[in-house]
């Protein structure tokens, strides 16, 4: 079991942390199949991902979600009461489209496809979680997972996520998630695994 340290203790992520969070997640998702599908150019991917995650944080999940960070990781969660507001508004969609360029239609199709697989019941949604590869194995991601899951458990609610990285499935299963389905993104995109975790007694 990884020990909690000051470096990997979760704390709220504020707008002042936006660029740090964006850079951390850009590093974390550099090898993610879905992000590589959205951003296929190796040379520009990291910079584009930094802008992408910074925009999601400042315009969507920061104002309407529950965002936490450690020194080397970040997570964006959405509670049921924030689900409607966490949907990107038109200005956010336009900003993301500019970042994605000619991949914007692929992104829109993927978001629409994924939205059809979420639970109908009230739940917490783990939208994004990632740790800088240089800090993997030091407990940053696990600390953020435990923090968010504790909030969902306190509310007596399940948690839902999608993952496009097969290597992550055993990690989520370790924390009580089970695969509830899998589906390929439209247009020859990667497979996403839909995972759900039922609440635990606190």
Q: What is the pLDDT of residues 133-156, one digit of tens each?
A: 999 889 999 999 999 999 999 999
Mean pLDDT for all residues in the chain: 92
CATH number of 11-197: 3.40.630.30
Query: Domain locations in the chain?
Result: 11-197
Rounded Cα gap, residues 95 and 64, in angstroms: 18
Neighbouring-strand partners of residue 191: 184
Q: Percent of the chain scored above 70 by pLDDT?
A: 96
Tell me what pLDDT residue 90 has.
82
Residue 146's CB is within 10 A of a number of other CB atoms, namely 13
Measured in degrees and rounded to the nearest 5, phi and psi for residue 148 equal -70, -40
The one-character DSSP state at 40 is -
Neighbouring-strand partners of residue 193: 163, 182
Tell me what pLDDT residue 144 has.
97
Name which of 54-63, 83-92, 112-121, 173-182 the model is least confident about: 83-92
Tell me what pLDDT residue 1 has.
43
Q: What is the pLDDT of residues 76-128, one digit of tens each?
A: 999 999 888 767 778 888 999 999 999 999 998 998 888 888 888 999 999 99
Rounded Cα gap, residues 182 and 157, in angstroms: 22
Q: Containing H/E element for 97?
A: helix 90-100
Three-class DSSP category at 11: strand
pLDDT of residue 174 exceeding 50, the answer is yes
DSSP 45-65: HHHHHHHHHHHHIIIIIHHHS
Rounded Cα gap, residues 111 and 159, in angstroms: 18
């Amino acid at each position: 079991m990884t020990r909690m340290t000051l470096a990997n203790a979760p704390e709220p992520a504020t707008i002042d942390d936006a660029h740090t969070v964006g850079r951390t997640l850009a590093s974390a998702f550099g090898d993610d199949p879905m992000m590589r599908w959205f951003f296929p150019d190796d040379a520009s991917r990291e910079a584009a991902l930094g802008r992408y995650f910074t925009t999601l944080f400042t315009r969507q999940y920061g104002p309407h979600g529950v965002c936490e960070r450690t020194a080397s990781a970040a997570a964006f969660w959405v509670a049921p009461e924030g689900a409607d507001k966490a949907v990107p508004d038109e200005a956010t969609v336009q900003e993301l489209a500019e970042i994605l360029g000619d991949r914007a239609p692929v992104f829109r199709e993927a978001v629409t496809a994924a939205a059809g697989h979420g639970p109908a019941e009230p739940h917490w949604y783990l939208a994004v979680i990632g740790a800088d590869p240089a800090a993997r194995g030091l407990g940053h991601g696990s600390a953020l997972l435990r923090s968010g899951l504790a909030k969902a458990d306190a509310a007596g609610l399940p948690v839902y996520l999608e993952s496009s990285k097969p290597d992550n499935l055993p990690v989520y299963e370790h924390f009580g998630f089970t695969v509830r389905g899998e589906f390929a993104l439209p247009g020859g995109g990667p497979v996403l695994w839909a995972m759900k975790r039922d609440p635990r007694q606190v």
